[in-house]
């Protein structure tokens, strides 16, 4: 019969919520100037992440770069303040694209035709 192995909880992956809570703790503990630095701090606490994961977590947490007396560092909104969600960021980006690239639009049935300046159709289509 196979022996049961003990599970090393320090090496077990965290849930997304737990990882993001750790990110908030690290950002509140002291200045973090870059995503690379945040990745190293997470690794030092036993959380291995890619730069892409760090970037997504910062975006979802609503973290922004702020100027301090030590340079720039990431900060998250305090508890109780609204955090910028991914959907809000997408809506804002799409709004900017439409303002810049949509000359006119007309709906017929279930189809919408959008007129753009030359070279604008592909960037607008990619944004949709």
Q: How far apart are CA 73 and CA 26, in angstroms?
A: 12
**Does residue 34 contact residue 51 with C-beta atoms inside 8 Å?**
no
pLDDT of 20-42, one tens digit each? Answer: 999 999 999 989 999 999 999 99
Residue 3 pLDDT class (50, 70, 90 cuts): very low
Q: What is the DSSP string of 17-37?
A: HHHHHHHHHHHHHS----HHH
Q: Which two tokens stand for residue 125?
A: 């289509």
Domains of the chain: 16-75 (1.10.10.10), 86-127 (no CATH)
Tokens representing residue 55 in the block: 């970037």
Count CB-CB contacts under 10 A for residue 39.
19
pLDDT in tens, 62-101: 888 888 777 889 988 876 454 555 445 566 777 888 888 8
Please give the helix or strand (H or E) that residue 35 lies within, else none: helix 35-44
**Mean pLDDT for the chain overall:** 81
- Token pair belonging to 122: 């592909």
Look up the pTM and report it. Answer: 0.55
User: Is the predicted pLDDT of residue 8 greater than 50, yes or no?
Assistant: no
Q: Is 92 helix (H, G, I), strand (E, B) or coil?
A: helix
């Amino acid at each position: 019969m196979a022996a049961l192995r003990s599970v090393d909880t320090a090496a077990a992956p965290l849930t997304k919520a737990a990882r993001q809570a750790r990110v908030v703790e690290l950002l509140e503990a002291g200045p973090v100037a870059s995503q690379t630095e945040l990745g190293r701090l997470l690794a030092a606490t036993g959380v291995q992440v890619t730069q892409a994961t760090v970037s997504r977590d910062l975006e979802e947490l609503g973290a922004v770069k702020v100027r301090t007396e030590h340079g720039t560092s990431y900060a998250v909104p305090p508890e109780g303040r609204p955090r910028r969600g991914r959907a809000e960021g997408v809506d804002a980006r799409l709004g900017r694209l439409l303002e810049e690239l949509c000359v006119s639009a007309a709906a017929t049935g279930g189809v919408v035709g959008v007129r753009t300046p030359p070279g604008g159709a592909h960037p607008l289509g990619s944004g949709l």
